[in-house]
């Protein structure tokens, strides 16, 4: 029930601020938590339209693509995220994205 309450809260906030990047991302994370993977992916894509440099989206979309058995799509988003992480000098995110990519290569 708490997840539904949080989701409703996010939806209410998004009515007031539909272009808020964090709120859109947070809604996608709620959808992931409810195993609504296709909806979550669409929400993350919307977040990237609002801000193509919102780095967490690349990892999350990669993860969703893996869950949906879309390995090539996952690799594509991980690689894009790695490039963006380099540009942003975000070594932590770059490490997480590289690790996710390596895990796919091992399969």
Residue-level pLDDT at 3: 62
pLDDT by 10s per residue, the chain, length 107: 466 689 999 999 999 999 999 999 999 999 999 999 999 999 999 999 999 999 999 999 999 999 999 999 999 999 999 999 999 999 999 999 999 999 987 66
Residue-level pLDDT at 58: 98
Give the three-state DSSP class for 91. Answer: helix
Residue-level pLDDT at 2: 61
Give the three-state DSSP class for 54. Answer: coil
What is the distance between the alpha carbons of residues 80 and 86, in angstroms, rounded to a whole number? 10
What is the distance between the alpha carbons of residues 18 and 34, in angstroms, rounded to a whole number? 21
Task: Quote the pTM value.
Answer: 0.90
Contacts of 53 (CB under 8 A, 6+ apart): 84, 88
């Amino acid at each position: 029930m708490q997840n539904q309450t949080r989701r409703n809260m996010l939806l209410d906030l998004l009515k007031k601020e539909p272009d808020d990047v964090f709120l859109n991302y947070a809604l996608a994370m709620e959808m992931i938590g409810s195993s609504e993977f296709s909806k979550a992916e669409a929400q993350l894509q919307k977040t990237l339209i609002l801000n193509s440099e919102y780095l967490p989206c690349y990892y999350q979309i990669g993860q969703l693509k893996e869950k949906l058995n879309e390995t090539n799509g996952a690799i594509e988003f991980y690689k894009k995220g790695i490039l963006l992480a380099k540009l942003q000098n975000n070594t932590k995110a770059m490490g997480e994205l590289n690790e996710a990519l390596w895990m796919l290569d091992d399969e």
